[in-house]
A and B are shown apart, each in its own frame.
Chain A
C-alpha cells in the first residue's frame, strides 16, 4: 500500500513533465527519558511521519512534502514539487547531471539485540536516577543529569528508475553530565562523551554496555577535580588526544571538508566551502603517512549505517585519506560526475520533509599500533585531552580551535595533574601532518554524534565516527583570557 501511494506521486510528476521523480516516506518514532537532580525531567514519545517528493524538471530540482498520506495529497504534493522545479529552471546555468544508477528493490532492517521500546519507561527512569545520584560525590556537585534516547525509523523510497527500497533502523543512546560549581567557576564532566552522549544503531544493549551506574562516581569525582584544578597552560606542546575528542577532530577537520557539495560551493552561503578543492584529490598531503581515514556506510552499529542512502544509492566504504594523501570525497548523484565512478552514497535527509543533501556517513580514523602507554610515554612535555567542550573552525575548514572538558599534563612520559579549560588550535594539514602515533585496535571505539547541523533549512544529521586516541607534535595550546 505504501509503495502504491508513493508510486502515485512519482507517476504524477512524470506525467506532467518531470524527467526524474522520487518519493520518500519516513515514519519516525522516538522516546526520550531524562532526569536531572533527582527528578524525571522528560518522559516523551514522538511520532512523526510524512513524505517528500523530489523531481527534476528542465534540468532543475524541486521539492515538496506533506504529512497527509492520501492519494490526492500524493498527486498534489508532486504537482507542487513540479511547480517549484519549474521556478528553479528559470535561474540555472547548466542542467543538473544525475549520475546513472541501477534500480534496487528490497527490505533492509538493521540488527539489534533488545528493542529499546521493549524496555519499560520506568526501568529507564530508575536507571538514570540511580546513575545520576551516584555522581553526587561532593557538596560542590550542583547538577547531575542523564538521558536515554531511543528511536526507530521506517523509510520507504520509490523512484522513477524503478527502485522500491524499504529500510528500518533502530537506534539507542544516552549519557551522563555532572556540573560542579565552586569559587566562582563551573566545570562540567560527561560520560561517555560530551557530544550528546553515545548513540549507536543498535538496541538497549548500547545502554547496558555503557554501565552508567558503575562509571558515575568517577565522572562526579572528575568534575570536582576540574573545578579546583589550575588553568591549562598556554604555549606549544605535544598532545595525546583521546578518542572522545578525536571524533570531533575528525568530524570538523576531515568529514565536513570532504563533502563535495561544500567543495563546489553549494554550501558557500551558510556552512561554508572547503580547502580540499577538486585539484587536490589524489595528490594533496592531508596528514602524515600513518593517517588513514575512511567513510563507511556499511559499518554495522554506526549512526551512519544504512543499506541505501536517501536517493537510492547503495552504502559504500572508501578511503578519504590513505597513507596521508587526500584521495576522495563524500558525494551525491548530482555531484558524482565531478569525480567519476558513481555517487559515493552520501545523500541523506534529516526527515521526510527535507531535501536530501551530502552528509557524512561513518567517518573513521583507522587504528594504528600504539598502546596508550606508548602514546603518553613518547611525550616529554604535553597534554592529554579528552571529550569536547568547545568547537569552532573556519568556513574552509583550515583554522580550528577546540576546547576539551578534561585534560591532564604529561611530564616525561607520564600523566600528571588535571588542568581545566584546555584548548588547542592549529591549521588542519599542519595538525594532521604532525600525527606520529595512533592508538591500536583495542582502543578504537565507534562513537555517534546525533547533532550535526548543515544546510538551509537547517538539517540535523546523525553520524558515526570510529576513533582511536592519537598523538600530535608541537601544537599550540591555550590563549590568555
Chain B
C-alpha cells in the first residue's frame, strides 16, 4: 500500500492551507513493512505493517514552535492536529535556537524505487526463507533470521512554498545459523529484491557456523583484527551518531571540536556522506527539506567536516549540510545517514594471508559508544563467527571477545582495506564499507561461547 506523490502532497497542502499560525510545516512518513521472521528453521512471526503519520510544526512570532503528530489523515484529524500545534505555539516561550523554515528548494533526482520489491508477497518471502533453511538442514543446524520487503514515503510541505516527496523500497535478508557450539551469520540489503540471493546468504552463514564449531578460549589482549564489513558499519554508525553530529560539535561534546583540518586518522581512512550515490540508499533531501549533497568527512585521515541540520548550522554560523532528522528526533542533532568508506586493494583472503597472528571478526553485538565520547571509546562483543588467524591461515574458531577501544586509535591503525564493499541499509540510511584490518585492537575480556 502506498499514498503516492500526488496524494501525499495534496494531503499535506490541505493541512498547510488550514493556516492558524505565522508559518506551518507538515511532514509525512508512510511505511509499508512486510517482514517474515524465522527461528528454529520455521517461520514463527510474519507481519505486514502499514502506517502513515503527519507531523505539524506551527510557528508564531518567528520562534515559538508547537508540534502535533497524528496518524489520522482525515480532514477532521488534520484540522485537529493543525489547531493543536498552533495552540501549543501560542503558549510556549520563544526558542532562540529555532532556525526558521526553509523556502522552496530544488532537489536532485534519485532512483530508489523498485516495483518488484514493493510488490513482493508473503508467499515469495516464505520461498526465499526456505532456501536458507535448506542450507542449514544439510548440516542439521538451526536457521533463524528475517526477510524484509517494504517501501517508505516521506513528504514535506510548508507555508513558505517548500514541497518535497520521495519514495524508496528496501529488501533485506539476514540469517543466523546455530549449531550446538557455534553460530554463523550473513546478510544482504538492496532496494531491489531481485539482487538478494537467499541461498547464497544461507550458504555463507552455514559455512561460518560449520567452521566455527567447538571454539576454544583465547585470552583478552591486543590483536590485529580483520573486521568484516557489517562490523565496520556498526563502528562507523556509532561514530557518526556521536562524533560527526553537528549538535554535539556545536555543544562542545564531540571529538571533532577544535580539530577540523587535523590529521587524526590513518592515511587509508576516507569517509564520505553521500545520499545521492545510487550504490547506497539514495535520498534527495533531509527531513527539514534541505537538499542532500556529498559531504567529505575524513579525507586520507584528515578530519574535514561534521554534518549539520539547520539548528546546529545556525549555532556555529554555517549552512545545513542536509542532515536534519525527523521533527520528533531532531533533538539528537544531525547524523550522517549515507556513509561511504573508501576501500583498498586487498581481497579478504589476502588480508587473512598477510596476518601472522590475529582475529577475523564477522560482526559485533551490542556496541556502545557512550563510555567516553570525546575519545570515541567504544565497547562491544564479537558475534556469530570469531576466528584466530595464524601464519596467514584461519587456525581455529575462538570464543567471543569483548573489545574496549578508542576509535581514534583504531582508525589510526589501519593496515589494509578490502577492495570489495558491502551495503548495510536501514529504511532511510545506509553504510557502504570494506572489510578493515586494524593493527593492535584492544580486546579486554572474553565470554563462554
Contact = CB atoms under 8 A, between A and B. Distances in A.
Interface of A: 34, 36-50, 60-67, 80-81, 83-88, 90-94, 96, 120-122, 125, 129, 142-143, 179, 181, 184-186, 264-270, 272-273, 275, 353-355, 357, 389-396, 398-399, 401, 403, 421, 423, 425, 427, 456-457, 476, 479-481
A79 B381 CA distance: 43
Contact of A45 (B52, B67, B252): B67
23 contacts: A42-B331, A45-B84, A47-B72, A47-B80, A50-B71, A81-B48, A87-B121, A87-B123, A87-B126, A88-B122, A142-B251, A143-B251, A186-B373, A268-B178, A272-B365, A275-B448, A355-B47, A395-B381, A398-B448, A401-B402, A401-B444, A456-B37, A456-B146
Contact of A481 (B47, B93, B175, B406): B406
Given A129-B93, A269-B144, A394-B400, A85 B40 contact: no
Interface residues of B, number: 97
Contacts of B442: 479-480
Interface in B376-398: 377, 379-381, 383
Contacts of B84: 45
A36 B80 CA distance: 28
Tell me the dominant secondary structure on chain B's binding face: strand
Given A91-B42, A92-B43, A421-B371, A84 B122 contact: yes
B114 to A, nearest CB: 20
B67 A44 contact: yes
Given A93-B42, A121-B88, A269-B174, A179 B251 contact: yes
B38 A181 contact: no
B116 interface: no
Interface stretch (B94-102, B160-168, B191-199): B94-102
Interface string B28-51: 000001011111111111111111
B33 A457 contact: yes
Contacts of B400: 394, 399
A138 to B, nearest CB: 14
B186 to A, nearest CB: 11
Contact of B374 (A44, A121, A185, A270): A185
B46 A45 contact: no
Nearest to A93: B42
B411 to A, nearest CB: 15
Given A84-B48, A87-B123, A91-B38, A392 B251 contact: no
A44 B69 contact: yes
Contacts of A480: 442
Nearest to A123: B91
Contacts of B70: 46-48
Contacts of A275: 448
B133 A91 contact: yes
Given A399-B445, A481-B377, A39 B94 contact: yes
A46 B68 contact: yes
B146 A269 contact: yes
Among the interface residues A81, A92, A457, which one has the most CB atoms of the partner chain B within 10 A?
A: A457
B47 A39 contact: no
Given A272-B365, A394-B365, A457-B47, 9 more contacts: A36-B97, A39-B95, A40-B95, A44-B69, A45-B85, A64-B47, A84-B47, A125-B91, A398-B449
Contacts of A44: 66-69, 88, 327-328
Contact of A423 (B50, B133, B371): B371
Among the interface residues B47, B98, B185, which one has the most CB atoms of the partner chain A within 10 A?
A: B47
Contact of B366 (A185, A269, A392): A392
Contact of B45 (A63, A80, A394): A63
B66 A399 contact: no
Nearest to A77: B48
A351 B374 CA distance: 36
Interface string B105-146: 000000000000000011101110110010000000010111
Contacts of A36: 97, 331
B91 A355 contact: no
A39 B69 CA distance: 21
A476 to B, nearest CB: 8
B84 to A, nearest CB: 5
A450 to B, nearest CB: 14
A171 B446 CA distance: 40
Contacts of A65: 47-51
B93 A40 contact: yes
Nearest to B258: A184
B447 A269 contact: no
B65 interface: yes
B92 interface: yes
Interface in B182-241: 183, 185
A91 B446 CA distance: 37
Contacts of A37: 97
Given A44-B69, A49-B72, A391-B368, A88 B91 contact: no
B176 interface: yes
B53 interface: yes
B375 interface: yes
A48 B45 CA distance: 23
Contacts of B6: none
A186 B402 contact: no
A66 B448 CA distance: 44
Contacts of B71: 47-50, 67
